[in-house]
C-alpha cells in the first residue's frame, strides 16, 4: 500500500464538505492526496458550501456548518489545490466511430489507455466528491470513465459521493457496455432530496431548475435486479460499501466516507451499510 489517493474534483463546482470531510480523515492517517480536474483548472467550491447557515430547501434544515464552511474557504484560499493534474492531458479521448482512421485510432487509444492504467497503480483509491458540478464534468466524462475502469481493473477502491456516484452508472467497457454496478449495492442522492429549482454551477451566472437527471432512478436501473439502490431516506447518513465501490449519499456522509476508506485500505473491510 502506497498511502496515496487520487481525487477528481469538478471544475464546475464541488460541495466543500464532500471534499474536506474525507480529506481531513485521509490527512490524519498519513495519506497523500493528489488532485485532478478535467482540464487542470483549480476547482472551486459551490458558494452555499462556503457559507455557514445555508438552509437546504428539500431537507428543510441547515446543511453548512461554520466548521466546514471555514475549512472549505481555507482549502480554497490555500495553494493545495492550485495545480491539479489535467485529466485531458493524461488520458486519451476515444475516437469517433466515423473517423476515417477509426481502426488505427482505436488501437492507438487502447494502447495509450493501457499505459495510463499502469500509472494508476501508484494510487490506493479514487475519491470523487459531488456537488452540482458533477452533472457537468463527472457523470458523462469519457476520460474519467476510463479512470474508474482503470481503478476497477486494479481492484482498487472507488469512492464517489452524492451526484458524483452517477459516474459509476455511465462508466462502461466500450465493448460490452454493461453497467459496472450491475448486481452491486450503492447509494446516491435520493429523489426526495433533489432540488426542484435553483441548481447552480461555477462559471455560469444562472440558476437552473432541478438537476439534469434524477440520480436515484439511474442507479436503480444500473444496479439491476440482483443489486440495489439504498436511499436511506429519513436517515442522517447513507453510506454503502460493496467493494470496490464505496458510495455516500450526500454531504452528511462525507467524513464517514473518509473513515470507511481507511477501514477498507487498512483493515480489509469489503462490505458495510447493507
Averaged pLDDT for residues 244-254? 98
- pLDDT per residue as tens digits for the range 83-132: 999 999 999 999 999 999 999 999 999 999 999 999 999 999 999 999 99
User: What percent of the chain is modeled with pLDDT above 70?
Assistant: 100
Look at strands 157-160 and 61-62 and give their pairing. Answer: unpaired
Give me the pLDDT at residue 2, please. Answer: 82
Look at strands 228-230 and 185-187 and give their pairing. Answer: parallel
Between the two ends of the chain, the Cα-to-Cα distance in Å is 27
Coil, strand or helix at 210: coil
Choose among 211, 227, 208, 207: nearest CA to 219.
227
Global model pTM greater than 0.95? yes
Pairwise CA distance, residues 149 & 134, whole Å: 18
Pairwise CA distance, residues 70 & 132, whole Å: 20
Check if CATH label 3.40.50.880 holds for domain 4-272.
Answer: yes
Pairwise CA distance, residues 217 & 191, whole Å: 8
Q: Give every CB contact of residue 107 below 8 A, 6+ residues apart in sequence.
A: none
Handedness of CA 220, 201, 133, 63 (dihedral sign): negative
Give me the pLDDT at residue 132, please. Answer: 96
Would you say residue 1 has pLDDT above 80? Answer: no
pLDDT band at 264 (very low <50, low <70, confident <90, very high): very high
Give me the pLDDT at residue 203, please. Answer: 85
Q: Nearest 5°: CA angle at 128, between 124 and 131?
A: 165
User: What percent of the chain is modeled with pLDDT above 90?
Assistant: 97
Give me the pLDDT at residue 204, please. Answer: 85
Strand partners, 8: 36
In the chain, where are the structural domains located? 4-272
Amino acid at each position: 500500500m502506497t498511502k496515496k489517493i487520487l481525487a477528481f474534483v469538478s471544475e464546475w463546482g464541488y460541495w466543500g464538505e464532500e471534499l474536506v470531510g474525507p480529506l481531513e480523515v485521509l490527512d490524519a492517517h498519513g495519506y497523500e492526496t493528489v488532485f485532478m480536474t478535467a482540464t487542470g483548472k483549480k476547482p472551486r467550491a459551490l458558494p452555499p458550501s462556503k457559507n455557514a447557515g445555508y438552509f437546504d430547501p428539500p431537507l428543510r434544515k441547515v446543511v453548512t456548518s461554520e466548521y466546514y464552511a471555514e475549512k472549505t474557504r481555507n482549502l480554497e484560499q490555500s495553494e493545495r489545490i492550485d495545480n491539479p493534474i489535467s485529466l485531458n492531458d493524461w488520458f486519451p479521448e476515444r475516437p469517433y466511430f466515423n473517423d476515417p482512421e477509426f481502426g488505427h485510432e482505436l488501437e492507438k487509444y487502447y494502447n495509450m489507455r493501457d499505459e495510463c492504467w499502469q500509472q494508476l497503480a501508484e494510487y490506493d483509491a479514487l475519491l470523487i466528491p459531488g456537488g452540482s458540478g458533477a452533472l457537468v464534468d463527472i457523470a458523462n466524462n469519457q476520460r474519467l470513465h476510463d479512470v474508474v475502469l482503470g481503478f476497477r481493473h486494479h481492484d482498487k477502491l472507488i469512492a464517489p459521493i452524492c451526484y458524483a456516484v452517477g459516474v459509476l452508472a455511465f462508466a462502461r467497457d466500450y465493448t460490452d457496455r454493461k453497467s459496472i454496478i450491475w448486481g452491486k449495492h450503492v447509494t446516491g442522492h435520493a429523489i426526495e432530496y433533489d432540488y426542484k429549482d435553483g441548481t447552480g454551477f461555477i462559471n455560469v451566472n444562472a440558476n437552473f431548475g432541478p438537476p439534469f437527471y434524477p440520480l436515484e432512478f439511474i442507479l436503480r436501473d444500473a444496479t439491476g435486479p440482483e443489486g440495489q439502490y439504498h436511499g436511506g431516506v429519513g436517515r442522517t447518513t447513507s453510506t454503502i460499501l460493496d467493494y470496490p465501490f464505496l458510495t455516500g449519499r450526500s454531504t452528511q456522509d462525507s467524513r464517514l466516507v473518509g473513515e470507511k476508506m481507511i477501514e477498507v485500505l487498512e483493515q480489509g473491510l469489503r462490505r458495510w451499510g447493507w
